[in-house]
């Protein structure tokens, strides 16, 4: 009997490893998430019933053991080298010419690789099984982070293939995808916790968690860039061949160019990456150019702690200096208080900015930013402006450390929080109440007309006419707009409540699975956690909200006429429509429809709308000035649909 169960276990593990390889390495998933989860559950149940037969390399064992007390040091077999940098085309040309002179040749083949902005790690496999994962450390000695490395789904616990070396070292970069980083910081802000300054810090902090469970929740990724400790005579002779070998044994690799045989080709590859940088799902800070031939690499050798055969061609600076004119406290929709610096306007990476986040008061104190300081600012992830550091040499005297406005008492804070929550409640993606902007809601709260969401639905025209800025016509228009919003779909309603971690996408997934408000209110933590992309933290936030006194507002809303519709994930057109189940990306400006409306329309017709173009994208819908997404889609052979063609497709559904 045990032999039969053993074969079942081996079969399920092999199947999951195959699916993981297609998803994380080949970027070509071959089953739905639901089917994957079903296979994974089968394995887990079988292992729970037969604990003596559990394979240490089983996918279920990625998070195992308890919390570590400390990390132990690991000596690298061979040093993990740094790279010399080229900061502009002139410096890269100098490196290129120097390399040609060293090998006494007029031409040489290079390979360009994306320089991921993450944390370099070393993986040791013995007989194909992952034994050790370590940080780079000082280049000679790193830290043993094996428990955390095993939580990264793109790193195989067992290598696959016919030519697995007895002992091999794989080096690569652990990083945090942009969307994961954004979600992590958004959740931290909602919970009033400290945010990470950038994705690299978040990845490094996650890898150095002593609790593997926490590391697992961070959803890190990995890409390999080199292989060591093997006799490659019969395996590969070039960088490109080594990458094919790495892919063949189940490892994801850094995105790499074809052979670049001229300086002009290298520059073209670099410039193409600069254009595509914003659309990549992860952060990069340059392109690494390596001599393709390992024989040539050996001839070139190393200097100090860097190879002569490679250089990191960094991207242009994304920072600028400016002056802090003021520091104010901003209240988020969940009540979190965030210090924000008001800046002398400055252009950073082509964008004019006049304010920058200081994340939280601990970060403000650590950086010691003061009004009047000259500071270095950047666009974090090329999106959110933030202060990097203070230029102390330019600090004006006298100067005092910043302290929050003493007039900002608890009553004012609570009112500010209420205003933010109600603004979110009225927003387009929630109740979509027209005419209730920031200033209007602030007046309602200041005049004590509303103390929670439900009070909006019992406002009278006579009350509004008494307020400054309201005449009879505008007052009636506001009352009509509120009345018009009484009927709302379940997903929009859940989003409107402002529960920590429940954004628009998560709200829709909950609505699709559970269907009715009663089902959501009565759902257990375990049931919520089973919904795709809802981890234990968000599941607890949802469960705790509906068990808390705060949720009484839901009954108040219903008693005042709000009707929450049962959610129907797909209408009849969506069930059999052109876009059903297709992954769609939108780019450009549209003449006859707003982008938010276009997204909602696509989702109603069963489409999955993503932000970035990838191999998995089915269609790119383009408006005017489509940008780099169009170029990428054309290169990948993805079907491009114009605005006019889209409208025809919808009419034909």
E strands of 459-587, at which residues?
487-489, 563-565, 583-587
- Dihedral-angle region of residue 167 (phi above 0 means left; psi in -120 to 50 means alpha; beta otherwise): beta
Cα(635)–Cα(620) distance, rounded to whole angstroms? 12
Cα(401)–Cα(408) distance, rounded to whole angstroms? 18
Q: Which value, in Å, is the radius of gyration of the alpha carbons in the chain? A: 28
User: How far separated are the first and last CA of the chain, in Å rounded?
Assistant: 54
Cross-strand bridge partners of residue 289: 112, 311
Using CB atoms within 10 Å of the CB of residue 502, give its burial: 0 to 12 exposed, 13 to 18 middle, 19+ buried: buried
Residue 3 makes CB contacts below 8 A (sequence gap 6+) with: none
E strands of 502-582, at which residues?
563-565
Using CB atoms within 10 Å of the CB of residue 398, give its burial: 0 to 12 exposed, 13 to 18 middle, 19+ buried: exposed
- Dihedral-angle region of residue 533 (phi above 0 means left; psi in -120 to 50 means alpha; beta otherwise): left
Scanning 321-396, the segments in alpha helix (DSSP H) are: 361-367
Using CB atoms within 10 Å of the CB of residue 103, give its burial: 0 to 12 exposed, 13 to 18 middle, 19+ buried: middle
What DSSP designation does 588 have? Answer: S
| Cα 522 to Cα 69, 275, 572, distances in angstroms | 39, 48, 29
- Catalytic status, residue 115: yes
In three-state secondary structure terms, 608 is strand
120 Cα distance to chain centroid: 19
Q: Tell me whether strands 167-175 and 119-126 are parallel, antiparallel or unpaired.
A: antiparallel
Judge if the upstream peptide bond of residue 398 is cis by omega within 30 degrees of 0.
Answer: yes
Cα(530)–Cα(225) distance, rounded to whole angstroms? 35
Cα(589)–Cα(485) distance, rounded to whole angstroms? 28
Selection from 286, 297, 313 nearest residue 93 by Cα? 313
Selection from 412, 443, 426, 558 nearest residue 497 by Cα? 426
Cα(70)–Cα(123) distance, rounded to whole angstroms? 19
Q: Which of 115, 190, 367, 421 is catalytic?
A: 115
577 Cα distance to chain centroid: 30
Cα(628)–Cα(636) distance, rounded to whole angstroms? 13
> Phi, psi (5° rounding) for residue 528?
-65, -40
Q: Catalytic residues, which ones? A: 115
């Amino acid at each position: 009997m045990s032999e039969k169960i053993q074969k079942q276990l081996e079969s399920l593990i092999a199947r999951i490893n195959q699916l993981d390889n297609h998803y994380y390495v080949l970027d070509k998933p071959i089953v739905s998430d639901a089917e994957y989860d079903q296979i994974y559950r089968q394995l887990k149940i079988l292992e729970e019933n037969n604990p003596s037969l559990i394979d240490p390399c089983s996918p279920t064992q990625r998070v195992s053991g308890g919390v570590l007390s400390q990390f132990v040091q690991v000596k690298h077999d061979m040093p993990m080298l740094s790279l010399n940098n080229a900061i502009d085309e002139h410096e890269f040309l100098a490196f290129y010419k120097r390399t040609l002179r060293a090998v006494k040749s007029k031409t040489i083949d290079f390979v360009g690789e994306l320089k991921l902005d993450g944390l370099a790690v070393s993986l040791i496999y013995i007989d194909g099984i992952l034994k050790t994962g370590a940080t780079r450390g000082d280049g000679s000695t790193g830290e043993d982070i094996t428990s955390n490395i095993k939580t990264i789904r793109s790193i195989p616990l067992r290598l696959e293939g016919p030519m697995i070396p007895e002992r091999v070292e794989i080096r690569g970069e652990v990083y945090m995808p942009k969307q994961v980083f954004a979600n992590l910081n958004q959740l931290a802000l909602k919970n009033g916790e400290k945010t990470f300054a950038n994705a690299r810090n978040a990845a490094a902090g996650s890898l150095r968690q002593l609790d593997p469970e926490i590391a697992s929740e961070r959803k890190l990724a990995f890409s390999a860039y080199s292989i060591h400790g093997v006799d490659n005579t019969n395996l590969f002779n070039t960088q490109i061949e080594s990458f094919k070998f790495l892919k063949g044994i189940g490892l994801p690799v850094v995105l790499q160019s074809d052979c670049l045989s001229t300086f002009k080709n290298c520059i073209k590859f670099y410039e193409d990456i600069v254009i595509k940088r914003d659309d990549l799902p992860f952060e990069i800070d340059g392109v690494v150019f390596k001599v393709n031939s390992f024989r040539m690499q050996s001839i070139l050798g190393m200097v100090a702690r860097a190879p002569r055969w490679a250089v990191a061609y960094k991207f242009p600076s994304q920072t600028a200096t400016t002056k802090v004119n003021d520091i104010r406290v901003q209240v988020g929709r969940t009540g979190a208080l965030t210090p924000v610096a008001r800046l002398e306007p400055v252009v950073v990476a082509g964008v004019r900015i006049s304010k920058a986040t200081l994340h939280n008061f601990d970060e403000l104190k650590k950086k010691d930013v003061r009004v009047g300081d000259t500071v270095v600012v950047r666009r974090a992830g090329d999106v959110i402006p933030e202060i990097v550091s203070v230029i102390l040499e330019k600090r004006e005297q006298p100067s005092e450390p910043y302290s929050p406005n003493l007039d900002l008492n608890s009553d004012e804070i609570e009112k500010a929080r209420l205003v933010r929550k109600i603004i979110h409640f009225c927003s387009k993606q929630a109740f979509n109440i027209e005419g209730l902007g920031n200033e209007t809601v602030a007046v309602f709260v200041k005049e004590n007309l509303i103390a929670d969401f439900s009070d909006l639905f019992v406002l009278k025209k006579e009350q509004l006419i008494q307020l400054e800025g309201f005449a009879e016509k505008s007052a009636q228009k506001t009352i009509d707009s509120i009345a018009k919003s009484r009927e709302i779909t379940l997903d929009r309603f859940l989003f409107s409540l402002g529960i920590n971690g429940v954004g628009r996408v998560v709200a829709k997934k909950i609505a699709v699975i559970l269907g009715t408000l009663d089902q959501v209110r009565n759902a257990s933590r375990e049931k919520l956690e089973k919904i795709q992309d809802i981890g234990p933290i968000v599941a607890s936030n949802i469960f705790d909200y509906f068990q808390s006194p705060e949720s009484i507002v839901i009954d108040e809303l219903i008693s005042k006429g709000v009707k929450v519709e049962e959610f129907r994930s797909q209408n009849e057109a969506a069930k059999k429509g052109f876009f059903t189940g297709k992954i769609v990306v939108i780019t450009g400006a549209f003449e006859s429809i707003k982008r938010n409306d276009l997204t909602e329309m696509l989702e109603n017709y069963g489409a999955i709308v993503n932000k970035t173009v990838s191999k998995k994208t089915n269609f790119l819908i383009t408006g005017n000035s489509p940008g780099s997404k169009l170029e990428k889609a054309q290169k990948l052979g993805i079907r491009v649909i114009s605005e006019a063609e889209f409208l025809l497709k919808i009419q034909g559904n």
